[in-house]
Amino acid sequence: MVNDKLCIAVRKDTLLCRIGAQQADEELEQGFCIPMINNGRTMKDFVYVDLDSLTGNRQLPYWINLCLQFNPEAKASKKKKQSPKHHQSAVG
């Protein structure tokens, strides 16, 4: 999380990278990642990068930098409202 927005995450043997739709299209064309699909819907700003592919010229810092560059443009997720159970007051 950077600035209260998902930036990059490790999931099993992949990185989930939030790099923006335009950059994602470029990286997908080069074949260095796969799209993130959630409930049958392609998440345009996100890609998965296989950890085993982080050798040679596509190192971890490259992907981290892409994520950090997109972060200021990324929209923050909507805050979930807490259920009334979590707002119990200390009335005694």
Confirm if 7 and 46 have CB atoms less than 8 A apart: no
- Phi, then psi, of 43 in degrees rounded to 5: -90, 105
pLDDT band at 33 (very low <50, low <70, confident <90, very high): very high
Query: Which residues form the domain of 63?
Result: 8-75
- Whether residue 86 is contained in a domain is answered as no
Structure tokens at 4: 């209260």
Nearest 5°: CA angle at 57, between 67 and 46? 25
Percent of the chain with pLDDT over 90: 52
- Whether residue 18 is contained in a domain is answered as yes
pLDDT at 72 over 80: yes
- Whether residue 36 is contained in a domain is answered as yes
- Quick one: DSSP state of residue 5? B
pLDDT at 42 over 70: yes
- Whether residue 81 is contained in a domain is answered as no
pLDDT at 11: 87
Backbone dihedral region of 11: left (phi > 0), alpha (psi from -120 to 50 degrees) or beta? beta
Rounded Cα distance between 31 and 91, Å, is 59
Number of domains in the chain: 1
The residue ranking higher by pLDDT, 69 or 31, is 69
Give every CB contact of residue 6 below 8 A, 6+ residues apart in sequence: 16, 18, 74, 77
List, for residues 44-56, the tens digit of each pLDDT value: 999 999 988 887 6
- Whether residue 80 is contained in a domain is answered as no
